[in-house]
Structure 1
Amino acid sequence: MKDFGFYRGVNLGGWFSQCDYSKERLDHFITEKDMDVIAGWGLDHVRIPMDYNVLETAEGGLSEEGFGRIAKAVEWCLKRNLKVVMDLHKTAGYSFDAAHQESGFFGSTAYQERFYKLWEGLAARFNDPENIAFELLNEVTDASVIGEWNRIAAECIRRIRKIAPASLILVGSYWNNSPDAVKDLDLPADNRVIYNFHCYDPLIFTHQGATWIPDPAFDIDRRVAFEEANITPEYFEKQFASAIETAEARGTALYCGEYGVIDRATPEDTVKWFKTINAVFEKYGIARSAWSYREMDFGLSDARMDGVRNELIKYL
């Protein structure tokens, strides 16, 4: 997406997604001043994860209040020449996190129709091809639904295109947007459809001590040093090789919508990881958005990163 002006970004995770949805959270977790900080980091866009229940009414219609919140966020960004990726992080009947207890989307025409209607509403309200991109759905997990997901994505793109014919659209694959799964996506519908992947590799380093991973290897008291994890540019080249080959063969670009390191790693090791993966992003012209701006166990603006942030932002 470098040629489209979306190249170096950061996620605003935890604002309109993965939160308690309280008015306090929605109104104050991210403020207009934060956009000044992000612009000051030299980034060109933000990715805004959004859950369907922020954007819809309880009955499943479009929420003017929810759309108004997104519109305000977009206004703040555009004032500072920051572009926006709108990421539908959770839709009715599906979430990447099983704990959210959303299920049935891939087998329900009613849920799918609701998904299409939501995207039609977003396309109509935010049809700004130069500044706003649409990411259809965050992290399909199960490889078994790739056929259904390809069909749903194609229909959603068809409907969006009737309203927003030139907007960038991002589509990711299974295994939580694994780069290895990009090859199983359908061919891009047009030259404004981009392949999306995420990268938190190696997980034992980026998620060390993650309390939500039920594996003794991720014990909260264990620390994994950067050198111990044997992370090199060649490692990431191997991780991305299939996605790079697929995108080149199909004439599209790649976008890494999430990548980052948990706050249990040292700030110094976090910088080393970002520097290493950045070298590969730059070599292959891969656009990206780091996870995440504030808190969410990965916060780049958190106080713990103050001593290394000037170095870190070189590698976002």
Structure 2
Amino acid sequence: MELKKGINLGGFLSQCVHTKEHYDSFIVKEDIERIKGYGFDHVRLPIDSEVIEYSNGNVIEEGYERIEEIIGWTREEGLDIILDLHKVQGYDFNDANNDSKNNLFTSDLLQERYLNIWNEISKRFSKYDNVAFELLNEVVEDKNADAWNKLIMQAVKTIRNNTVDSYIIYGGILWNSASTLKLLDPPADDKIIFTFHFYEPLLFTHQKAYWVETMDPNWEISYPGDKEEYIEKSAILGNQGLAVSGSKYEYFGIEFIEDFVLEAIKVGKERNVRLYCGEFGVIDQAPVEDTLRWFDDVFTVFEKYDIGYAIWTYKEKDFGLVDRHYDPIRNRLIARINNEI
């Protein structure tokens, strides 16, 4: 399982309206064929727990059947697939600081439910050699670093009771930041992959994003960019702009990107563990030619250090590769992914 170049199926079984009508129409077999035609070798499938379990914890068979169908589509096309548990009962990265909603790390009952999900998923799907398991998307709070390590250990043990061959993927805290991989305990075996997400500089990749409260919708941010502008405006973003404030570079381009990723590279070498970037991309509000330049720089860094990746995302969610915004650069972007330019 190489997991070299992939794309997310965001908004399909996660961060969506959970209805049969949506599931039936958002991604169909032809989409998987199209992804294969673009030259990708895998997809990352975010899944909310409510797809596969009721509020009382009972199994939703139709949800598991749908996942199995999608696995079948990928197998027909020769693609690998990562089953990413994106949100679970008691944890939603979008509402991380709401302790009344996010109590996975303090509730034995919710942790038991979480482990039961991984027991069920791994029992059903470890028989497929093109399937990898990602434990949880974007643990956010630094206060949960130790609790996350403990839950990782339990989840890995649960999965390994069903399979010793399947790859298991997980990342650090602070939205799967590359800088927090060092807080993870050493991997339990050689089928573990450390993941991080990369949206830096956030000022560029998330410009005009309505969900970033302090983002000015009137800003038009270029890439590469001038340090003075980046630092001034990133400071307004608060914690989400911290990566920029500590940069030693006068210009925000490929040197900044490589420097940011080096923290992950160091951990990978020290722990002898593979690295994977499970999400990276640019919002559909950014200048398209600058977007292409950003992707080219990120690809260059990932290729240099042999880091696999999955672009965020295939369709919609403000980042959709197949949506109208990407029309002027899509063919060139696909050509760059395949090293044809």
TM-score by length of 1: 0.95
* Runs of 5+ consecutive residues of structure 2 not aligned to the other structure: 227-250
CA contact 1:187–1:250 (8 Å) conserved in 2: yes
Cα distance in 1 for partners of 2:218, 2:258 equals: 31
Moved over 4 A (4+): none
Cα distance in 2 for partners of 1:6, 1:233 equals: 23
CA contact 1:226–1:273 (8 Å) conserved in 2: yes
2:52 corresponds in structure 1 to: 55
Cα distance in 2 for partners of 1:315, 1:291 equals: 16
1:271 corresponds in structure 2 to: 292
- What amino acid is aligned across from residue 180 of structure 1 in structure 2? S
Map Cα deviations across residues 240-288 of structure 1 (whole Å, 9 max, x no partner).
Answer: 1111011111111100000000000122221111001000000000000
Moved more, 101-110 or 62-71: 101-110
1:169 corresponds in structure 2 to: 168
Cα distance in 2 for partners of 1:174, 1:132 equals: 24
CA contact 2:6–2:310 (8 Å) conserved in 1: yes
Aligned-pair Cα RMSD in Å: 1.4
1:105 corresponds in structure 2 to: 104
Cα distance in 2 for partners of 1:234, 1:115 equals: 40
Q: Which of residues 39, 62, 78 in structure 2 aligns to 1:65?
A: 62
Cα distance in 1 for partners of 2:39, 2:4 equals: 11
Moved more, 127-136 or 175-184: 127-136
2:276 corresponds in structure 1 to: 255
Cα distance in 2 for partners of 1:138, 1:232 equals: 27
Tell me whether 1:312 sits opposite 2:333 in the alignment: yes
Correspondences of 1:59-208 after superposition (within 5 Å):
59-98=56-95, 102-128=101-127, 130-208=129-207
2:229 corresponds in structure 1 to: none
CA contact 1:129–1:166 (8 Å) conserved in 2: no
Moved more, 99-108 or 268-277: 99-108
- What amino acid is aligned across from residue 141 of structure 2 in structure 1? D
Tell me whether 1:29 sits opposite 2:29 in the alignment: no
Cα distance in 2 for partners of 1:112, 1:102 equals: 14
2:222 corresponds in structure 1 to: 225
CA contact 2:224–2:294 (8 Å) conserved in 1: no
Cα distance in 2 for partners of 1:25, 1:139 equals: 24
Cα distance in 2 for partners of 1:258, 1:183 equals: 19
Deviation at 1:129, TM superposition (A): 6.0
Cα distance in 1 for partners of 2:19, 2:81 equals: 23
CA contact 1:292–1:300 (8 Å) conserved in 2: yes
1:20 corresponds in structure 2 to: 17
Deviation at 1:102, TM superposition (A): 3.4
Aligned residue-pair number: 311
Cα distance in 1 for partners of 2:200, 2:325 equals: 22
Deviation at 1:57, TM superposition (A): 2.0
TM-score by length of 2: 0.89
Cα distance in 2 for partners of 1:310, 1:102 equals: 42
2:4 corresponds in structure 1 to: 7
Cα distance in 2 for partners of 1:148, 1:41 equals: 40
Cα distance in 2 for partners of 1:173, 1:179 equals: 8
Cα distance in 2 for partners of 1:62, 1:190 equals: 30
Are residues 136 and 253 of structure 1, via their aligned partners in 2, closer, same or farther at CA, if it must alter by over 3 Å?
same
- What amino acid is aligned across from residue 30 of structure 1 in structure 2? I
Map Cα deviations across residues 88-135 of structure 1 (whole Å, 9 max, x no partner).
Answer: 000110010118973110000100000000001000111146311100
Q: Which of residues 234, 247, 251 in structure 1 aligns to 2:255?
A: 234
- What amino acid is aligned across from residue 166 of structure 1 in structure 2? D
Cα distance in 2 for partners of 1:227, 1:238 equals: 15
SS of alignment partner, residue 212 of structure 1 = coil
CA contact 1:204–1:224 (8 Å) conserved in 2: yes
SS of alignment partner, residue 72 of structure 1 = helix
Deviation at 1:204, TM superposition (A): 0.2
1:285 corresponds in structure 2 to: 306
SS of alignment partner, residue 264 of structure 1 = coil
